[in-house]
Amino acid sequence: MAQLILQAGKEKSLLRFHPWLFAGSVDELEGRARPGDTVDVATASGKVLARAAWSPSSQIRARVWSFDPDESIDHAFFKRRVAAAVARRASLPALREQQGVRLIHAESDGLPGVIADRYGDTVVIQLTSAGADKWRGAIVDSLHRVTGCARIYERSDSEVRGLEGLEPTSGWLLGDAPANEITIDENGVRMAVDVVSGHKTGFYLDQRDNRRLLGELARDKRVLNCFCYTAGFSLQALAGGATEVVSVDSSGPALVTAQRNLALNPQLAAERAIWHEADVFTDLRERRKAGEQFDIVVLDPPKFAPSAHHAERASRAYKDINLNGFRLLAPGGLLMTYSCSGGIGLELFQKIVAGAARDTGRTARIVQRLQGCADHPIDLAFPEGEYLKGLLVQVD
């Protein structure tokens, strides 16, 4: 096995059990290793600390599989890790009855670059690192054996694969495409899941609890849902008794799916739903000029800052939408605002939202901090895993 030698003093993150090794911490690679191969990670003095997946094309040169230098990285390793991740979800009462659940959350489940989401009897995987890509067969077999799922679909089509020197790939790895559309029940609402063409693995499971919270807040309220995608927040608001829900997105196909989702739920008052295809930035300004007001405004935009390099430009975008979101709120109204950008930390995000409130001259208070669900855990040694952050803010 090849050995990755660290520069002197660069082992500190490893000793804190952080799973990433950046190019700047590497001295040399002794021996030969292909992308995705397992290498021993050693200090400058020669002490082996971990076993990791080698990725020469990435600035993250290696991702740690195990901090036990004697643990074999083989098929049995992946079966153990997959089984442990699934068992952790099964131990949490809030997740046991969910039809849509994240089973593996990459580094936070000890499987860097591996995402697995279950939608009923279908599991969708996303492999974003060289190591995960190399062990595709073991990961798929382990998921099938542990979950008993009928089919597994791969959605390894994200841009981050390019940083690993990997081509995008997708397709059915186990079983065939289902005869009928995949749907799940989430908090009493039916939702269609497009595992082939939808965002991420087909659905945004990380917002499940926050969508339920909106439903609890929406009774007798007028709600504006921006960047609505397939209307997860919108339908929960309708289920909660909102008097009107205005949903805005720039994607016509997403709105078509959103309306199809509404049709899956005949118990909801369809006449209270308004759909609008528009650029959200422009739409917010036009509604402000028209003097509209809402009791609740939801801002759940796409990723504006994939890395800290994009933070400045992203900050301006977040400031813009939150500024106009505050201006559209009626007295006592609530703003549910989110960022899924890894390059925007919670502290910076709160500063942006606070600046937007200040510029509107409104007094605002954080009622609740919002985050991902229990099936999206955050390893204490890996704070980068906390990509989704949100605030529930009330204005005077």
Q: Which amino acid is at 86?
A: V
Cα 118 from Cα 115, distance rounded (Å):
10
Neighbours of 15 (CB within 10 A): 11
Q: Is 226 a catalytic residue?
A: no
Tell me if 84 sits within 8 A of 92, measured CB to CB: no
Catalytic residue selected from 149, 226, 340, 373: 340
Task: Report the relative pairing of strands 329-339 and 294-299 from DSSP bridges.
Answer: parallel
Q: Cα angle at 106 between 369 and 74, to 5 degrees? A: 160
Please list the alpha-helical segments (H only) found in the chain: 12-15, 75-90, 93-96, 130-134, 136-147, 160-163, 208-217, 232-239, 252-263, 280-289, 311-327, 346-360
Residue 235 per-residue DSSP state: H
Cβ neighbours for 180, distance < 8 A, ≥ 6 positions apart: none
DSSP codes of every residue in 243-308? SEEEEEES-HHHHHHHHHHHHT-TTS-GGGEEEEES-HHHHHHHHHHTT--EEEEEE----S-SSG
Return left, alpha or beta for 201; rule: phi > 0 is left, psi -120 to 50 is alpha, else beta.
alpha
Neighbours of 45 (CB within 10 A): 9
Tell me if 305 sits within 8 A of 342, measured CB to CB: yes
SS3 content of the chain, % helix, strand, coil (to 5): 35, 30, 35
Give me the active site residues, please. 340
